[in-house]
Chains A and B, each alone.
Chain A
Amino acid sequence: MATRVSDKASSLFMLALFAVIVMLSLILVVFGSNVYRAIEQGRTADNVARAGTAYIISRVESVDAADALSRRAGPEGDMLILAENVSGQTYETRLYLSDGELCEEYALAGAPVDTENATAIVASDVFDFSYSRGLLTVTTSSGTQCVALQTSQGGAGL
């Protein structure tokens, strides 16, 4: 009789032990997946912020010349125009918001805006820019980025 009780207790103990190990493993897996998700979200946010702002800065710096930058009405709010002269023709790089994305369109100056030809740079709900005393300030959903224009009249059109 005592042996039977002992066997039963031993079985219960084994079952409880198994349950504890399974529970701990589950907690570990859930904790790990949450941490991984948080890390991945942070990494993605950093990449988006870096890629978006770095691209805008490099584009602005590449056309830093007198009257190169101007503002015009775009599909959703104002668009930033970066003008450059290529073989006697003036081409424009237009940066504007369209369908929740910051887009870039390269076109001949004066051509109408065509969102179908635009390339999405980064997802953003905001695109705002201002110019004051040689400093261009661009704000997107990723944050604010400043660019010091080397040409004192680079932002005369803004």
Chain B
Amino acid sequence: MNDVFKQGERPTPDKANSRSRAFYLEVLLLLAGFAFVSVVIFQLFGSAYNLSVDATRTENALTSARNVAETFSASQDDASFEAALAGLPGFADVMREGSRVTLKTDTGLFVGVNLSAKPQSAGMMRSASITVFSGDTGEGEPLYSLESEAYESGRGVVA
């Protein structure tokens, strides 16, 4: 089966069919390769875009957590902390159930704050554990967590 033709020789129908099949097989392989490379490139672009969206969401979560922490630091007690959060732009649905304060942000995030207090020799060390979740409920993926502490004088158990 020699497919090399001498000059002036016309290929027989069998040889021509064989060449044609080889050509189509080559084209098929080329298309498959191109499709594979295209899929990989599409996936790379998609991953890059998802990373960018995640970065923006994390940035928003960080800003929200920082604002909540600063508000906690400036507040005198848990009640004033809740009231200050309710008055801040960008925050909504501020609710307090016992030692947990929750709120929603205008960037579509949910913030949960667990408050605790530890009596000191003079005053009280208040702590806030701030966690920002994706989505508008506390069941989303935790995006960012921050611990904050503030000392409150004059309201503690004197040892």
Contact = CB atoms under 8 A, between A and B. Distances in A.
Q: How large is the interface on B (under 10, 10 to 19, 20 to 34, 35 or more residues)?
A: 20 to 34
Nearest to A149: B74
A147 B42 CA distance: 43
A135 B84 contact: yes
10 contacts: A31-B45, A35-B46, A53-B63, A133-B76, A137-B88, A143-B63, A144-B67, A144-B90, A146-B88, A148-B71
Interface in A118-141: 132-135, 137, 139
Contacts of B59: 46, 49-50
B142 to A, nearest CB: 20
B55 A134 contact: no
Given A143-B90, A145-B67, A46 B55 contact: yes
Contacts of B31: 17, 21
A133 B84 contact: yes
Main secondary structure of the interface of A (DSSP, over half): helix
B65 to A, nearest CB: 11
B49 A39 contact: yes
A132 B88 CA distance: 11
A38 B87 contact: no
A146 B55 contact: no
B27 interface: yes
Best-surrounded residue of A21, A24, A36, A143 (most CB of chain B within 10 A) = A143
Contacts of A17: 27, 31
B41 interface: yes
A45 interface: yes
A134 B74 contact: yes
B41 A28 contact: yes
Nearest to A46: B59
Best-surrounded residue of A24, A28, A146 (most CB of chain B within 10 A) = A146
B70 A21 contact: no
B11 to A, nearest CB: 11
A135 B74 contact: yes
B49 A28 contact: no
Contacts of A39: 48-49, 52
Given A35-B46, A42-B53, A135-B75, 19 more contacts: A17-B31, A21-B34, A24-B34, A28-B41, A32-B45, A35-B49, A38-B52, A43-B52, A45-B56, A46-B56, A49-B59, A132-B84, A132-B87, A133-B75, A133-B84, A135-B71, A144-B67, A146-B88, A149-B74
